[in-house]
Structure 1
Amino acid sequence: MPQQQAIETQSKPASAAGNLRFPLTDRSIAHLPFAERGQYFAFDEKLGGFQVVVGRKRKTFMVRSEIRIAGKRIASARVTIGDCSKITVAKARTIAEGYLSEMRQGRHPRPDAVKRPCAVSDRVEQQQSSDKTAREDAEGPSLREAWERYKAALIKKGRSAGTIAGYEDHVTRVLKIWIDRPLKDLAEDPDLVARKHDAITLASGPYAANGAMRTLRAIYNHAWLKNKKVLSRDNPVDAVDWNKERRRNSGMGVSDLPGWFNELARLENPIRREFHLMEVLSGSRPAALKRARLNHLDLRRRILHIPAPKGGEDRAFDIPLSREMIRSLMRVIRFGRAQHPVEARIWLFPAESKAGHIYTTQEDRADLSKWGNDLRQTYRTIATIAKVNGVDAKLLMNHAIPGVNEGYITREKILEDHLRQQQQAITDVIFAPIRDLREKDGPVATWLRPRSARAQIALAQETRTAHAHLHEVRRRKALQARENNADGQY
């Protein structure tokens, strides 16, 4: 559909070609053909002002809106976000939301990029200083205003889209009753915050209550830095009696692995099967691994780059690949090309979803007993059994390393030799208990034997062909039966 709209748009004059509008996803953008001449625009149906500019050689995310102060139009701004081949739609949309938030507050999101600052940014600055209201001077920002400013700061720091979405959910849903209330009111009545924490605990559980209060605490601290004359230094969240949180110990030991591999081998979807295997072999967080792109894989160096893990782009790192991990990735690439040929051009774990990759990573516990964070805990447990020291395990899992001495470690210098050896040691311990399963006939052997991916793809194609033939036979029989009944009525 987007491709057909794009073709129709290019055939129109430039003045009439601005009506291409649909939900922007990685998949829909991949379908957009490059412009034959000039450029055309694809507007997002979900977020006004967010768009893709398609030229003859590249596709670029962009946001466009008016800068207004007190309802008065000050300027119109169009800001480039980035190349569509380098960032995902989810991340670009998060950045666009931050830029639009800045514009709604009368600020240009990237003043350094304004070509004529005298005509735009100076007028904005003058209008802001002259329209400073008495209410804000007296009461300080509301929770909504403080969140918008904190959100813009998070985007500038490169925080992930998932992290920002989690904070926004706390503000707009959990703390909705306070959304337009001045923070000063909360600071003057900390018991109000403590009672709200208790209420959320009863309604949604202890972890949700603690999470919402941590978000409120961060927003208040950020607002205080800019409103010290109005807001108290004492954070109202300090009045909360925090719920006790316990880390779940759901990792597997060596003796648990054969049963889990048998469950995994029986999963019908081969792409999800390899995804869960990569989880346990790498210890990666599911949210980061499912967004892995084909161009993030470097087989020559035997690494998989994770550009935006938890903590944002500043925490980007490379996963060294063991031999079994490379075999798994080769299988999933073949499966992806067979099942999702369009999405597989971009993603390592493609799927029929709006994003184009695996979206949900959960499984029915009856089908697969351990997944997600269970496998990350398993990885750390097996690393101890493989005698991988604590510092190396943290480096492999991209954990922050405390201490001055450890801070001097340059990860890139030990990635392609020492850390890969440690990765291989962990993989060897994981695969050791299933040696018998790989040699005997069964689901595990069928899955992991050499050239198994080609055999499984061929079998799946034969099955689809047989089902299609059976469907056609049934359709023809039903059609013949209706014709016979019609003839009998006459």
Structure 2
Amino acid sequence: MKTRLTETLIKNTQWKGKEVRLVDASLPGFYVAINKHTKTFKVKADLWVGTPGQKKKVRSVNQAFASVEQISLRDARTQAATYLSQIKAGTDPFKKTETYEYNIKKMVDLFILSRQEKGRRPATCEGYSQISVRYLKAIHSESAADYELHKAYELHKKLTKCHGAVTADKAIKLLSSSYRYIRPRTPAGTIDHNPFEGFEYNNPKPKNGRTMILEELPSWYEALQIIKNPIRRGFHLTMLYSGLRRATASKIEHDWLDERKSCMNIPGRAMKNGEDLSVPVSDQLIQIFKNTSTCSKRMYPRSPWLFPTVGKDGQVKPIVAANEKALNHRTGHTSRRTYRTIAALAGVSDRNGDLLLGHKIAGIRGRYIDEPQLFGQLLHDQKLISRFIDEHMLKG
């Protein structure tokens, strides 16, 4: 059904178990495809070639060309009109280009776009983009067809030295995946090899994460008081009392808290797995939210976030608090690991401990358990964990 496309309509329309298509009433062939994790602008039209009266249908073009985060609706409609005009004239604007036109940047960009079309999580695609911009920029202009193995090893060695073994491996694996994607989708002779086949990666052993022991909690809480910003203090307390990932906790908004039901409703856009989550909240967490919200609304009255800050560009954004000198870097994932350890020490079952972290129940059990019905048990355990933290952190 055709509709009048607006930015608001696109933003408010959500995935409903299958792809939702918002077809533009003003430009036939232009629509927005809404999937579980992505919203993309697409064009759809039949490509005909030949002289009038003898035209032959070549193929049906149904192609995504940008995500809604990349360009505005107005720019997308203009771009779509250009594509549709070319198709009507018998030219395929999405036809695979020749060898010399493929450089590393274009190849990686096409791979990332393909992942978006596949419905991969936005965080995953954004991670690919960041790797490309930060670590592959030096080779963006090089020909993908001419890139050789010895160059790959030189780049890998340099990245390992400057940014670490894990980052170097991620960058090269992104390149390798891009080659694997693009090779079968280009004409014969365009890209005939993947220089990363058989590549020897660093494959560093994962480091054991830091976890605070119970005896550390009083000194950690004392050090927390040194932090003058009440919003940052509230953020670190929330991390410890909830076990949320840092990226999720930083995006908490004022209206997510439902005090009457003792829960916080987190939308999928703030979750690593892209799925909505209702987190049970204890009385301690509710009080932390209230105290922080009062300060937040006073300091940043127009911000929707519970933990806002001002970026280098002067814009208000969610807090970024990877490290705190006062806390001796006992923040972020350390708080999450400490929370899960305390849950075990307090007697919380492994199943409930994992669910409180936002993890899914593994295997066939997870398919047969209706998690929402466990909310009462999870709330009980959340309160138990908070009391356990209080007993060991605030004693004396």
Common fold by TM > 0.5: yes
Q: How many equivalent residue pairs?
A: 341
1:310-351 Cα offsets, whole Å, 9 max, x none, are 5453x33222111211111111112223333332xx222233
- The answer to whether residue 175 in structure 2 is matched with residue 200 in structure 1 is no
Structure 2 counterpart of 1:124, from 72, 87, 96:
87
Is the 1:98–1:152 contact (alpha carbons within 8 Å) kept by the matching residues of 2?
Answer: no
Structure 2 residue 311 is matched with structure 1 residue 348: no
Equivalent in the alignment of 2:253 = 293
CA drift at 1:244? 0.8
CA distance 1:366–1:132, change in 2 (3 Å): closer
Given residue 172 of structure 1, which amino acid in structure 2 is its aligned partner? V
- 2:59 pairs with 1:97: no
Q: What is the distance in 2 between the residues matched to 1:131 and 1:362? A: 42
Task: Please state how far the C-alpha of 1:131 moved relative to its aligned partner.
Answer: 8.1
CA distance in 2, matches of 1:244, 1:420: 39
**Shift in CA distance, 333/364, structure 1 to aligned 2, threshold 3 Å:** closer
Distance 1:159 1:98 in 2: 19
Give, as a single letter, the amino acid of the residue that structure 2 aligns with 1:129: D
Which of the pair has more CA radius of gyration?
Answer: 1
Matching residue within 216, 238, 253 for 1:278: 238
Cα shift at 1:128: 4.7
Aligned-partner Cα distance in 2 for 1:197–1:247: 21
Instruction: Write out aligned runs for 1:185-196 (5 A).
Output: 185-186=146-147, 189-196=148-155
Question: For residue 177 of structure 1, what is the aligned residue in structure 2?
Answer: 138
Partner of 2:105: 144
More helix by share: 1
Q: Which residue of 1 aligns with 2:51?
A: none
**Aligned-pair CA distance for 1:262:** 1.1
Task: Indicate how the Cα distance of structure 1 residues 169 and 251 shifts in structure 2: closer, same or farther if over 3 A, else same.
Answer: same
Cα distance in 2 for residues equivalent to 1:241 and 1:369: 29
Distance 1:352 1:190, change over 3 A: closer
Q: Aligned pair 1:393/2:359, yes or no? A: no
Structure 2: 5+ residue stretches without partners: 1-5, 12-26, 40-65
Conserved 8 A contact 2:305-2:318: no
- Against the structure 1 CA distance between its residues 395 and 128, is the aligned structure 2 distance closer, same or farther, given a 3 Å change threshold? farther
Mapped pair 1:426 → 2:385: yes
Deviations 1:202-236 (A, max 9, x none): 22221221221232233334334634855568671
1:154-190 CA-to-partner distances (Å, cap 9, x unmatched) read 4442633x5444322322332223313343434xx33
* Cα distance in 2 between the residues matched to 1:140 and 1:410: 52
Aligned-residue sequence identity (percent) comes to 21
- 1:461 is matched with none
2:121 match: 159
Q: Is the 8 A contact 1:279 1:285 kept in 2?
A: yes
Is contact 1:158-1:312 (8 Å) kept?
Answer: no
Aligned residue in 2 for 1:480 = none
Residues 37-48 of structure 1 mapped to structure 2, 5 A cutoff: none
* Distance in 1 of aligned mates of 2:89 and 2:145: 27
CA RMSD of aligned residues (A): 3.9
TM superposition shift of 1:424: 2.0
Q: 1:137 to 1:435 in 2, by over 3 A?
A: closer
> Secondary structure of the residue that 2:316 maps to in structure 1?
coil
- With 360-369 and 289-298 compared, the bigger mean Cα shift is at 360-369
Kindly indicate whether the alpha-carbon contact (under 8 Å) linking 2:234 and 2:288 is maintained by their aligned counterparts in 1. Answer: yes
Q: Structure 1: which 5+ runs fail to align?
A: 1-51, 62-74, 88-92, 109-113, 438-490
How much has 1:425 moved relative to structure 2? Answer: 2.3
In structure 2, the partner of 1:319 is: 279
1:417 positional shift: 0.8
The structural deviation recorded for 1:355 is 4.8
Instruction: Supply the distance in 1 between the matched residues of 2:132 and 2:299 (Cα, whole angstroms).
Output: 40
What is the distance in 1 between the residues matched to 2:298 and 2:99? 64
CA, structure 1 residues 231+411, in 2 after alignment: closer, same or farther (shift >3 Å)?
Answer: farther
**More displaced 10-residue stretch of structure 1: 317-326 or 392-401:** 392-401
Q: Distance in 2 between matches of 1:404 and 1:233?
A: 41
* Equivalent residue, structure 2, for 1:226: 185
SS of residue in 2 equivalent to 1:148: helix
Question: Secondary structure of the equivalent of 1:304?
Answer: strand
From the superposition, tell whether residues 197 and 263 of structure 1 become closer, same or farther in structure 2 (CA, over 3 Å): same
Report the equivalent of 1:17: none
Distance in 2, matches of 1:193 and 1:400, equals 38
Cα distance 1:168–1:419, how it changes in 2: closer, same or farther (>3 A)? same
Deviation at 1:305, TM superposition (A): 2.4
Compared with structure 1, are the counterparts of its residues 338 and 59 closer, same or farther at alpha carbon in structure 2 (3 Å cutoff)?
A: farther
SS in 1 for 2:279: strand
| Cα shift at 1:372 | 1.2
Change (3 A) 1:311 1:366: closer
CA distance in 2, matches of 1:181, 1:410: 52
Please tell me the residue identity of whatever aligns with 1:409. I
CA contact (8 A) 1:140 1:231 kept: no
1:60-92 CA-to-partner distances (Å, cap 9, x unmatched) read 87xxxxxxxxxxxxx99998899xxxx9xxxxx
How far 1:130 sits from its partner (Å)? Answer: 7.5
Q: Does 1:338 align with 2:298?
A: yes
Residue deviations 1:252-291 (CA, integer Å, cap 9, x gap): 1211111111111332111111110000111111222111
